[in-house]
Structure 1
């Protein structure tokens, strides 16, 4: 449907994908499918997803599908990006602030989700372990990131301690469990959303972790959400 929208708006020399109307129709479909946070919907409507994928795939940019970005990685479905950010907003701290605060993103990829997060948080720190993707994201975000997005080339499993703590943490890769560094860098009242291996090792589920402080004591409360499919979380850099 998104491709058909773009084709109808196509100029002789282009696909018409820079039209806000194409993005708005994507957002309306996501809303019909259950995404309800208006702040998230507005951010998805604003960020030009087609600028983050290869030209040959641009006409598919506003379909609700993941697309390859090279090096065995993908750009997540818009519905999944929206759902994970919506879960971040449901945390206690984000509800009180009305925004995501300082965000740590694990797995920059092509930079799309970082751009969406930058519409909704005070600062975004995004880590990518693959140098070619880190460089690609830097190019993709050069014209829009301003001072709100800081890109880090490094091992995402370690988080980024120099700028911790983080009010929100979101991961675009799934491992067997939540790395201890992520929990250590999550601010009191903060929320973490990440894919993790499902019980029994069959597939992945979204896991939400809240850093709760009660009567002067802090602890982590974990809940499990729906099934998802993400690339594996790996250590080291390449």
Structure 2
């Protein structure tokens, strides 16, 4: 989506529910991405969201947190609509200098490890049938841009990793979509906000106009964390889904 389209989207009024009774408390469990969205809260509906986020959190850490705290959270807020927004720190790993690299090129292995934790979270939530569970898709991000931001001396060695990371994210999000379908939930498509097309001439005579697909990582501060425009966009997308899930 182009920058202009993002601006048009966030300027559109938020669709309010016809009946304004909150029957599920919206809770978002995330890694550091969550803090960037929380800082953009404006509407009364966004203020209803309870945030739990931790820098560098893996989905296993989130599952352990839920096991230890879900009962007390429900006691405090009542029935929940929980949105689990993780995966970034499973697919890539950070070095001592703060640079990142792909965790493994074994695509099936890393996705299976994430999905195992997803199933354990579902099993945990089955004990609370009045609450709702949604797994938010992991947005596309860039190892190259993160390491460029960290002043790596040779980012070219990460080009292949970025290609593999995109494939892993596509496969993971396909599985997340299937799981959400199974549990009766839906996740916004965050990666679509990064996608854009450029037109160029193709052919020997350069008379055929075609499109080249790429991603606008300039919407990120550092290849992973959203700048204000993208953070506001994602917060609105999540809030629109929360309105459908949590208000009568």
Fold shared per TM-score above 0.5:
no
More strand by share: 1
More helix by share: 2
**TM-score of the pair, normalised by structure 1:** 0.22
**TM-score of the pair, normalised by structure 2:** 0.22
